[in-house]
């Protein structure tokens, strides 16, 4: 069964709404290197993650130097760390290998633009996925991006490309980009991802989730 990750949680009210509706993983954007509406300082994220970690899986979404990411992860102790910036293959391996020793799983975001070019390696998503198989990551998040926004774009991924990636790897793939309650059923049935990741598709405004949209989305996932 496809799992659900809702990202960009910025407050306890929204976290509790997600728990109420049985969302599998909550994502918290922590000290991201460039301005995004969902960013939080480490101290705020630590308190929020600690307050809900007994009830739901948690994921810290971040980027930056290896030292910074490891420091944040060891201090905050999320279940997952999602690398969502410009990490090199070597950096992904260093981070995922180190976090594995602490029982923290690593997700690497592979961001793909409208032309099918990824912000990684030589730009070919198929080559990038095969390279990432040689690291200690637990999953790859396939997401859309533009020059103006590294994530949360609301732009769908080409499902034919996603399915091609899914066929060539044994690493679980998480699908993000443009998913919302009214299209989630079709997207999941066409792509069969390990998990889906939703951010703007269940928001009323950047950083503020809609319980109505979350409830509708989760209802579609069990119907």
Residue 76 has pLDDT above 60, yes or no: yes
Q: Report pLDDT digits (tens) over 87-145.
A: 999 999 999 999 999 999 999 999 998 889 987 778 999 999 999 999 999 999 999 87
Q: How many helices (H) and strands (E) does the chain have?
A: 8, 10
Provide the CB-side half-sphere exposure for 27 (13 A, CA): 29
**CATH code where residue 105 lies:** 3.20.20.70
In which band, very low, low, confident or very high, does the pLDDT at 181 lie, cut at 50, 70 and 90?
very high
What pLDDT shows up at residue 156?
85
Cα separation, 42 vs 33, in Å, equals 13
What pLDDT shows up at residue 147?
56
Question: Picking from 68-72, 97-101, 218-222, which range would have the lowest pLDDT averaged per residue?
Answer: 218-222
Residue 54 has pLDDT above 80, yes or no: yes
Residue 189 has pLDDT above 70, yes or no: yes
Question: What is the span of the domain harbouring residue 42?
Answer: 3-222
What pLDDT shows up at residue 146?
60
Q: Report pLDDT digits (tens) over 149-166.
A: 444 556 788 999 999 999
Q: How many domains does the chain have?
A: 1
Q: Report pLDDT digits (tens) over 4-43.
A: 999 999 999 999 999 999 999 999 999 999 999 999 999 9
Q: Are 81 and 60 in contact (CB under 8 A)?
A: yes
What pLDDT shows up at residue 145?
73
What pLDDT shows up at residue 153?
52
* Per-residue burial over 85-108, b = 16 or more CB atoms within 10 Å of its CB, e = otherwise: bebeeebbbbbbebbeeeebbbbb
Residue 148 has pLDDT above 90, yes or no: no
What pLDDT shows up at residue 20?
98
pTM to 2 decimal places: 0.94
Residue 1 has pLDDT above 60, yes or no: yes
């Amino acid at each position: 069964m496809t799992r659900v990750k809702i990202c960009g949680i910025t407050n306890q009210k929204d976290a509790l709404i997600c728990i109420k509706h049985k969302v599998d993983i909550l994502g918290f954007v922590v000290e991201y290197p460039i301005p995004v509406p969902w960013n939080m300082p480490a101290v705020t994220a630590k308190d929020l993650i600690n307050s809900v970690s007994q009830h739901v899986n948690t994921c810290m979404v971040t980027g930056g130097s290896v030292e910074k990411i490891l420091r944040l992860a060891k201090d905050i102790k999320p279940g997952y760390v999602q690398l969502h910036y410009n990490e090199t293959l070597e950096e992904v391996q260093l981070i995922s290998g180190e976090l594995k020793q602490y029982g923290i799983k690593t997700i690497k975001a592979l961001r793909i633009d409208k032309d099918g070019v990824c912000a990684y390696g030589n730009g070919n998503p198929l080559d990038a996925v095969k390279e990432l198989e040689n690291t200690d990551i637990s999953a790859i998040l396939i997401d859309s991006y533009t020059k103006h926004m590294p994530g949360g774009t609301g732009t769908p991924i080409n499902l034919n490309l996603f399915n091609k990636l899914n066929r060539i790897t044994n690493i679980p793939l998480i699908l993000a980009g443009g998913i919302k309650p009214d299209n989630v059923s079709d997207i999941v049935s066409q792509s069969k991802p390990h998990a889906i990741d939703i951010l703007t598709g269940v928001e009323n405004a950047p950083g503020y989730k809609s319980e109505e949209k979350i409830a509708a989305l989760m209802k579609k996932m069990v119907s």
